[in-house]
Chains A and B, each alone.
Chain A
């Protein structure tokens, strides 16, 4: 079983829809959670970075962490065709124990249709 599970999709939605992207994980020691967006033939770009549980909002994007359920989500409001990309979740434990080593999900392909 993978440490981080992420539905590969593709997820296809109409423009303007609310998108929910999710990851589950098995290691309760994970404390730092990230979402990256990766366009075709480009490197991953950091979207959201959160510590521990709770919500973080940045424009149309909201990251949510539920450590009790070992579940993280990324919500995209008013989705646009330019949001079409692969979304990667990533996470890691405390620096002293795990260093900077990230564990990634396999990525979800999102397609927003105009």
Chain B
């Protein structure tokens, strides 16, 4: 079974802080993704990566950056957290080609 692990289930931070969300997959997947999920808006893609040290912007990249130094790990960084970044953050990975994405259990982030 595919295992996508997000380091924190719940996180509370203050505005202006730099926040790191970590995601690790154990299936040697090529692709990794970061989404945020908000009520009524569904899942929106923030950033994704097709390979180590490679990243591409999704639909809502503003205020975020990412890092992929190793194939199994994909980090999402909030450079200066703001209250409108309070959300559920979901990481996903896929093998590549036409293979489907598999998700972690999410990090519920609150910015106060």
Contacts and interface: CB of A to CB of B under 8 A. Distances in A.
Contacts of B45: 101-102
A43 B103 contact: yes
Contacts of B102: 46
A100 B31 contact: yes
A5 to B, nearest CB: 11
Contact of B105 (A8, A42, A102, A107): A42
Interface residues of B, number: 25
Contact of A106 (B40, B48, B96, B105): B40
Interface in A65-114: 88, 90, 95, 99-102, 104-107
B49 to A, nearest CB: 10
Interface string A21-52: 00000000000101010000111111001010
Interface range, A side: 20 to 34
Nearest to B106: A43
Given A32-B98, A34-B100, A88 B43 contact: yes
Interface of A: 6, 8, 32, 34, 36, 41-46, 49, 51, 88, 90, 95, 99-102, 104-107
23 contacts: A8-B40, A36-B103, A41-B105, A43-B4, A43-B105, A43-B106, A44-B90, A45-B103, A46-B101, A46-B102, A51-B98, A88-B42, A88-B43, A90-B43, A99-B50, A99-B56, A100-B33, A100-B48, A100-B101, A102-B43, A102-B101, A104-B42, A106-B41
Interface of B: 4, 31, 33, 40-43, 45, 48, 50, 56, 58, 90, 94, 96-98, 100-106, 108
